[in-house]
Chain A
Amino acid sequence: MTWHPVILSIQVTIVASLLILIFGLALAVLLARSHFPGKVVFETLINLPLVLPPSVVGYYLLLILGKGGPVVEWLGWRSLFTWQAAVIASAVVGLPLMVQASKGAIANVDPTLEKVARTLGSSEREILWRVTLPLARRGILAGFTLGSARALGEFGATLMVAGSIPGRTQTLPLAIYDAVQSRQYDLANQMVLLMTILSFLALWGVRRLEQPT
């Protein structure tokens, strides 16, 4: 078994997880604490990758990241069929899990605690870091773990925007598909076992986080 897909998968998942953490947290705070016109539509758009077929998500990403798309035109960043495109695909698909869980946890924090913090002189930013986020940490961690696990297992959208170039953009799920296609069942078995263990650990971790101590 070649280790390249494993290492690439880990690399993609780490970077995608960072994006999920930063954007997911910001979106969760925004959705939990503020009201603005079009909020429901906005939230639905974020959640869309949960229900859309991966090929549809991949197609949209092709439009956005590809030639003539805004990323190439405005930012001059050509990412299609590189590992960075795999990162984007994984992050987009993992994001809604993070946002949903974190938003719920943040909305559950008693607003009275935040009011008291205000009367004690804390700024809104201080309240976020010292009261809201620490109290929502379980939900945030659970969402983060689920989002990262989803990013690790990303297949369809990744295939469309990053391809499945062995040694360059072929992540673990893609390599498994490839191994089965070429009837290398020993290789497939090893990689499937590895994926299963990683996913099991992630879900088990989430369960532990959700149980109050």
Chain B
Amino acid sequence: MLEVAVARRLDGFQLDAAFTADTGLVVMFGPSGAGKSLTLQAIAGTFLPETGRIVIAGQTVYDSTQQINLPPQVRRVGYVPQHYALFPHLTAKENISFGLRQLSRREQEQRVSELLELFDLRGLEHRRPRELSGGQQQRVALARALAVQPRLLLLDEPFAALDAPLRGALRQELAQVQERWGITTLIVTHDLADAFALGQRVIVYDSGRVIQQGTREEVFFHPATYRVAEFVGTGNILPAVVEQVEEGTLWLRWQGQRIATAPAPFAPGTPVYLCIRPTQILIVRPDRLAERERETLLCGHIVSEMMQAETYTLHMRLEHSNAAHDLEIVLPAYVYHRLSLDAEKRLMVELRRQALHVIPRDVGAT
């Protein structure tokens, strides 16, 4: 469906990214300045790479070796840049019909009218962009891009300009739009929550390169490297060593503790990172210990607590350990309130083997 490989050297920056995507919602995720927007523009045809190849729905739109470079006008790609770039001198309706010049007046009217209906913009058609709210502007921009019936939709930071409460609603709306139109949609974001909520497929960018691509589950729960683990908010990335390989279990040693994980192809003595997301660490009540014998249990005490809207973030320190090895735990607020901690704030937690993920660690590298 979509095949992208683009490279270009710029001032102090080297873009060299490659990925593939089929249908559905694809999120390009990574820190600002990682080359995500440039890649998007290269696909749209408004940024020229030096080398590479871009294939959209079987059609090669760019190929440096074959000297193919189709202009953006014929690529049939809907592009919604950051802040939407609505034409400020045109009304909502004129914005939407901007790309429909070649249609008859009647067809234009009909298509615009359908889109106004679909994006709930009735009554706003004669407003200028500056008279529209952020969410309305986004809908006009989507309608304008979809009006020309593109085969691919590119959205650059679609939620960056919006307040948090609106983001959630618009994420859902975007997912619905994608489903209704069945159009492959590439979304650039540096926001973890956006990436997690929308990305059926996730492409992780770092300094001009794609450092991992895969399904949401693969990328978020099985990051391939330390860097990806960091980006996707793994929270606990613990340097450990493989101790023993056993039928059905990989035993690691971390801070003097033996930890059981699912089998993975590592030899004893291999330095690894042990990853577990803060929300996946479970609190164990002492009276229910019996049911838990196959999993790793750790004891410690809470050294810091921070309250968020719906959750608590705790840091737990093991016996005889120090701040560098604290575990980060995130709990729903109601669970926290039921903990009834004693004065020493002692806690027992369980690291379930399905929640643990092991990645290789190059000794000497960070």
Contact = CB atoms under 8 A, between A and B. Distances in A.
Contacts of A207: none
Interface in B50-103: 71-75, 77-81, 85, 87-89, 98-99, 101-102
Interface stretch (B41-49, B267-275, B310-318): B41-49
Interface centre among A110, A119, A121, by most chain B C-beta atoms within 10 angstroms, is A119
A115 interface: yes
A112 B86 CA distance: 10
Given A118-B71, A120-B144, A112 B101 contact: no
B87 A119 contact: no
Contacts, number: 56
Chain A: interface size category = 10 to 19
Contacts of B102: 121
B144 A115 contact: no
Contact of B46 (A118, A122, A123, A134): A118
Contact of A126 (B46, B88, B101): B101
Given A110-B85, A123-B73, A135-B88, A115 B79 contact: yes
A112 B85 contact: yes
Interface in A110-161: 110, 112-113, 115-123, 126, 130-131, 134-135
A116 B85 contact: yes
Contacts of B99: 120-122
Interface string A91-117: 000000000000000000010110111
Contacts of B144: 120
B73 A115 contact: no
B88 A120 contact: no
Contact of A119 (B45, B89, B101): B45
B124 interface: no
Given A110-B85, A121-B148, A135-B89, A115 B72 contact: yes
B81 A115 contact: yes
A168 B79 CA distance: 60
Contacts of A115: 41, 44, 46, 72, 79, 81, 85
Contacts of A120: 98-99, 144-145, 148
B98 A117 contact: yes
Interface string B7-46: 0000000000000000000000000000000000100111
A119 B78 contact: yes
A119 B98 contact: no
A121 B98 CA distance: 9
A48 to B, nearest CB: 34
Interface of A: 110, 112-113, 115-123, 126, 130-131, 134-135
Ranked 7 nearest A-B pairs via Cβ: A120-B99, A118-B72, A115-B46, A119-B79, A112-B85, A119-B72, A116-B85
30 contacts: A110-B85, A112-B81, A112-B85, A113-B85, A113-B87, A115-B41, A115-B72, A115-B79, A115-B85, A117-B87, A117-B98, A118-B45, A118-B46, A118-B73, A119-B44, A119-B72, A119-B73, A119-B75, A119-B77, A119-B79, A120-B99, A120-B148, A121-B73, A121-B99, A121-B102, A122-B73, A122-B98, A123-B73, A130-B98, A131-B87
